[in-house]
Structures are given as structure tokens and as C-alpha cells.
Structure 1
Amino acid sequence: MIQSGLLIVRGVSVLQNKSIISSLSSLGTNLTAVSVSNTQVRCYAARKGYRKQREAKKVKKEKVKISFSEKVRLEKEAKLRSRHGILKFDDSKKPLPVDNVWVQMFYQWKVYSFKEAVQCHRETHHPEMYNKPQEKLNVRVELNMEGEKKTRLLDDFHRVVAMPHKFDMGEERTVLALAKSPDIQAVARDAGATLVGGVELIKEIQTGSIALTDFQTVVAHPDILVDMVCLRGLMKKKFPNPKNGTLSPDLEKAIDTYLNGLKYSAMKNQFEKDFGLIETFIGTLDMDINHLEENFASVIRDIHKMKPKRDGEFVRRCLLWSPPVVERLKVDYSVYLENDKGKDEETDEDEEVEKVAVQ
């Protein structure tokens, strides 16, 4: 198409355009050839949010300063998150070692009897080695926190278990005992209760003459429970309860448990909610090995009382260790577990106590 001495050539390449110009020049024509592409240009709206993103990139982001403690917390949280999925240790698919020397990571952990594990720790803490024969003997118990239904998990729990053989817990404990009968009050005093009283003591607590914060635990006999109802709001979690042993007809046993018993807590992992962990200690290495074993059995049996009514294991693994040695020895705990019948009998006893308290 020719317009006013201008030749517009559409849809041709640059090389074709040059050939056309050269051919026209040879003919002596005074025309100018212009190549116009067939590319269509259309205006579309920007993607939603694109402009905001572009503007946000231009803005300089200010660095937020965090404290050292917050930095440590974030690093610890990142470390826990990176370990997600490896807390629930299971080496059942690995082979058993066949020699007396093996690479631990490729074989199942050796399972020791309790006495064998204690003896191993005593050898490492001997005066000729670490020279700490009186070091604490720690217990690490790993739990399966699944409830009766897999969609429900057990709550964290805190318990106190009586130790057959006492040892220094490293803290002073205070117990407030309440009972109506003067004879029971005398028994409570002999058991070592910090403060013992009856109805008159309840009135002093109401008026504020006695502060409940001065006592770690409050134990009571069922005969005074009716008079204690007015203190439920003040005591809250400290209010005596037969489930944790603070409301009991055997006040002497309850006081001894909370004065000399072992406190432990089962806590769910922050990222693996079905993994629970208990870390406590059951004595020192210089104690009689039979006494240590009885203390260990008491702790394992008390933990097993919290097992929900479902199939499968509750205690996943039990390890013994003693600082400064980092070696943990796997212990066979199943030999100390009682049958479910004994557990049901204890539950029935608690229900009877509750019925007596209500009456």
C-alpha cells in the first residue's frame, strides 16, 4: 500500500524489508519502506496486590532488636522444631548386636536389668574415674500420651509418690492438716504436719489470720470435709481431693507422702503432642541397690496408674543416667508393673472415700 510517497510493509522481517528497499531503489522510485510488525498491544490491569507488593519492596524494613533471653528461646524452639519426628524413638526394626563391641546407631539398644544399670554407673563414678560416688541417680521415662481415642491426648499431670526408702529431696516442705477428731489431730502432729487444727483453723483461714500461701499442701480427713466447703474458693487447686491423696482417712500416710514423697511431672512435647516425658531422680548411687530398686518400682507403678483405658503401651522407654556422664542405659521396667486388677481396686477405694466424704 502506497500513501504519499510512503510504502508501509506489514508482516515482513527486517531482511525482507532490506531486499524490498534495494529493489525499489534500482527502479528509481522515491519511496520509503517502513516495516510494521503484526504484534498487538493491549492494556491489562495489574494483578491484585501487585502494586502493594512493589511498594512494600521499596520501603526499608527496620531490624527489630530482641533481647538475649528471647534469642535463646527462639533458638531453642527452632532446635526442637528441627527434631520434630525423632523423639518417639523406636529401634525394634534394627538387629540385635552379636558381638561385645558394636556401633550403637546400627543396632538395638541393649536392655539392662535395673541392678546392672546401677552397677555400670557406679563404675563410671568410682573415685578412680569421675570420683562422684554420691551423685543422683536420674530416671527418664518416655510416655505415649494418646488417650482412649487417638484424637484425644492426656493432659499434663503432676503427682507425688511415697518413697519406701527416704533420701534428701533438696527442699523444705510444709503441710497443713485438718481434722475434727482430737485423736486424728494428734496422729497428724506425730506424722510431722507443719500445722494441725479443726473447725477453729478453718475460721482463721477465712479471716486471713492464716495464709494458705505459707503451705505447699493441704491434707484433710473426710470427717471435716463438710465444714471445708466454704474454703473451696480460697484453696482452689489446694482443696483436698481423694484422687491425689490429700483427702484420706489415713492422714498419717498422706502427710508422710507429701513431706517425704517424690514429686514428678509428665509434660507433653511442644511439637509432638503424643510424646510425654518425665525426668526425676530416685536416690543417690551410694544407697543400697535394693533400696534404689524399690524406689524405682514405686515410681514406675505410680506412673502406670495414669495409663488410659486403651490397648498398647503407655511407657515407651525408661532410661537411667547420672551426671556428669551423658550415657543413658535402657532399663527393663515391665517386671515392676502390676496388673490392671490392682489398679481397679485402688480406683474403687478412691470412690468409696468420695462417697464417705459426701455423706
Structure 2
Amino acid sequence: MRKHGKRFNNIVAAFDRDALYAPADAAAIVKKNATAKFNETVEIHIKLGVDPKKSDQNVRGTVNLPHGTGRSVRVIAFAKGDAARAAEAAGADVVGEADLIERVKGGFADFDVAVATPDMMPSIGKELGRILAQKMPNPKSGTVTPNIGNAVREIKSGKVEYRLDKTGIVHTIVGKASFDEAQLAENLATLLDAIVRAKPSAAKGTYLKSITLTSTMGPGVKVDPARIKATATTA
């Protein structure tokens, strides 16, 4: 059994880990509990009432967080000509076509997100399918688009992707512990509203089964799913 240190145990003793909190209250508790010596990332883990094995119950999308993520995101762009110049102007860290494909094949992996224009996808799929794996550009996440400059700008400014894993859980981030409580609460509300709106029509029963908010080194704080439904439907 894992043993926690004095700092962690003192944090846990300061709030009720079994209680279900309103989103804003949970964000405030997580921020208060982020006492590590670095700027912790605030993460969310959402158990959904869907069957991840069924394609018609897949949950995947993107959302622009109003206050960004607080992270510096490295973006590479596969594009040619005017599209390549647009990606560079938008702030892409590396832009290329066949040369960039070869660079990634050779082991280059110092990036967080890959974007591409549609005409580049046949070559990318053939050459980099296994290498890129989950970083493969995808139209559903907005990373395959003819408007590649806009895609780069959105990602750089705080666009995050959410997707269901094999166990039916969505894991993503909502900001940094350095954000103030209102910024974290607004980012959290925006993300959860997007996930509620992304509910597959084939999903039956309870959709939001459990929601846990935490920081990198802090304990999980439970969010009340019932309050998320009320917020989302009245927004």
C-alpha cells in the first residue's frame, strides 16, 4: 500500500474526501491544496456511462478554455506553400512537408500536438501512422484542416482535446494552480459543458458517473455530477 508524506496527509485532513462539491468549490479546494514547489497542473478525470467498445458511444472533441491551459504547447505543422506560411505566421514551432515527415521518422518527438492540411494526410498516414499514434492529426480534433493557421492559434491559446479511453474515462487538464479561483472555475465549467453536450445519442442511463478534480501532487476532490447537468442544461 502506498504511503503518503506529512504534507499530503495534512492536506487530506483539511477537507472531506467523500463529499461531492460544486465545481467552483472543488476548484477552490484543489487550488488551495496545490502546495508543491512548482506550478502544478490542474487535472480532471471523468468516468462516463458509455461503452468505449462501441463506436456510436465514442466521446471525443475539443474545447477552447477561456483562460487557456497555462502550458506552453509545442506544435508542429505538416503543410506546403501558403498553408505552411500561414502555420509559421500563427506560431507553429516547426513547419514542413516531406522533410518534417523524415525528421519525425528519424526520432524527432519534441512536440505536443501535430497539425496538418488534408493533402498531407496520405503521406503522414503511410509513413507516420504507428509513430505518431495518439498524436496523429485527426479531423475530429480539428488538427486536420485547410485553415491550419487558425488551428495553430487555437491550440497555442488554450484549446484542449478530450477523448474517452479504453476504460470509459476522460482525462484532461483545466489549467494551472497559479490561476485564480474564478479562472479555474470558468475553465472547468466550459470543459464540462462541452462534454455534456458531446453525449452520444446511443448512451443510456447515467452519463456523468463520477468526476474528480486534482492537481499534480494533490489529492482528488469529487465534483457533484448532478450540479454539472443543471449548469450545462441552463447555460
Q: TM-score, normalised to structure 2's length? A: 0.64
Which of 232, 241, 247 aligns to 2:138? It is: 241
Which residue, 68, 78, 82 being the options, matches 1:177?
Answer: 78
> C-alpha separation between the residues in 2 aligned to 1:267 and 1:231?
24
Give yes or no for the alignment of 1:194 onto 2:96: no
Equivalent position amino acid for 2:185 in 1: E
Deviation of 1:162 after TM superposition, in Å, equals: 3.6
Instruction: Please name the residue that 1:334 is paired with.
Output: 229
- Say whether the 8 Å CA contact 2:75–2:115 is kept in structure 1: no
Change (3 A) 1:256 1:267: same
> Is 1:297 equivalent to 2:189 in the alignment?
yes
1:163 paired residue number = 65
Match of 1:21 in 2: none
- Which ranges of structure 1 fall in alignment gaps of 5 or more residues? 1-74, 76-103, 270-275, 340-359
2:46 aligned residue: 141
Deviations 1:319-339 (A, max 9, x none): 323465535232332245369
1:218-273 Cα deviation digits (max 9, x unpaired)? 42334xx2x6534531132566432221222332332234455445553334xxxx
Q: Given the superposition, is the C-alpha separation of residues 178 and 319 from structure 1 closer, same or farther in structure 2, using an over 3 Å criterion? A: same
Contact 2:61 2:162 in 1 (8 A): yes
Aligned to 1:251: 148
Tell me: CA distance 1:268–1:239, structure 2 relative to 1, closer, same or farther (3 Å): closer
Among candidates 28, 40, 58, match of residue 119 of structure 1: 28
1: CA distance, partners of 2:125 / 2:178? 44
Structure number with greater Rg is 1
- The secondary structure found in structure 2 opposite 1:281 is strand
Q: Equivalent pairs: percent with the same residue?
A: 21
1:266 correspondence with 2:164: yes
Q: Which consecutive residues of structure 2, in runs of 5 or more, have no partner in the other structure?
A: 2-15
Matched to 2:85, the amino acid is A
C-alpha contact 1:175 1:194 (8 A) present in aligned 2: yes
**Residues 1:248 and 1:119: Cα distance change in structure 2 (over 3 Å):** same
- Checking the alignment, whether the CA contact within 8 Å between 2:60 and 2:141 is kept in structure 1 is no
Residues 295/252 of structure 1: CA separation in 2 closer, same or farther (3 Å cut): farther
The answer to whether the Cα contact below 8 Å between 1:162 and 1:261 also exists between their aligned partners in 2 is yes
Corresponding residue for residue 104 of structure 2: 211
